[in-house]
Amino acid sequence: MVHTGKFDLDVYLRKIGWEGEPGADPGTLRGVHLAHLRGIPFENLDALRRVAPSLEIGDLVAKLVDGPRGGYCYEHNTLFAAALEALGFGVTRLAARVVVGADRIESRPRTHMALLVEVPGQPGPYLADVGFGAIGALLEPVPLVAGTEFEGAGRRHRLVTVEHPGPLELWVLQAYGEERVGVASDGPWQAQYAFTLEPFEHADFEVVNWHIGTNPRSPFTQRLYVQSVSAERHLLLHGRVLTETRADGAVSERELTDESEARRLLEAEFGIVVPDGTALFG
């Protein structure tokens, strides 16, 4: 294990509302993955204040498990990795290039954290990721198998491999959705992120976390980004725009009027209490 500090698996499982019998098996992996996504919101409030959040496990527990907050990818997946290791899974941390809308994979840096999970007794690993703040995110982990479509909790994904100049195989996670003009895609399959299986360490993510949380050019320091997932809907607050996507595909949007409304909405709809001194709209 790479984390330090205290992690209580039972407290974490109560937080996310998972009541199954813990074990290192595919059913537990799928169930805990989905429960985490539905139980803890994605948010960038620390980065809005140009503060890189701590990735130490004790601080993550205090913020995401005990506190009325969420976090972004490094926080979510570091916490989730600790839970998986406590359950008996093997976990490798991966660094990915987010390529939504990109013309070339190489044009994006490796700024996203994902997880490769080994399940005892299974022939191959799974890609797991509870920290991708987008509607194309995995809701359940998928086996690391190229070219096969997987459905999980109502979303469709597949993994493909693509040619590139590096020595390691390059994998791309794709999500199924309607074709959109100006978005690089393979028909209705939209590329989400690309990764190799090279292991990355806690120290690597400390560096990129500082960059994403403090750099004025980082998208997370520029505007509010909060999302939550339930069986009925995906709710996204991006800047002042609140977008609700229902399970049947219906989409509605509205623009918030001021910070007071945003604070009330964050607490009522996302379960997030905004820290004092945080400016939500620049």
Q: What is the dihedral of CA 162, 167, 168, 172, to 10 degrees?
A: -20
- Catalytic residue, chosen from 36, 73, 76, 234, is 73
- Catalytic residue, chosen from 129, 157, 202, 234, is 129
Give the separation between CA 84 and CA 199, rounded to whole angstroms.
17
Specify the amino acid at residue 196: T
Give the separation between CA 86 and CA 109, rounded to whole angstroms.
31
Q: Are 198 and 93 in contact (CB under 8 A)?
A: no
Q: Which two tokens stand for residue 130?
A: 């509870």
- Whether 3 is catalytic is no
- Whether 73 is catalytic is yes
- Catalytic residue, chosen from 36, 76, 112, 234, is 112
- Whether 112 is catalytic is yes
What distance lies between CA 281 and its chain's CA centroid?
Answer: 23
- Angle of helix 202-214 relative to helix 73-87, nearest 10 degrees, comes to 150
Catalytic residues: 73, 112, 129
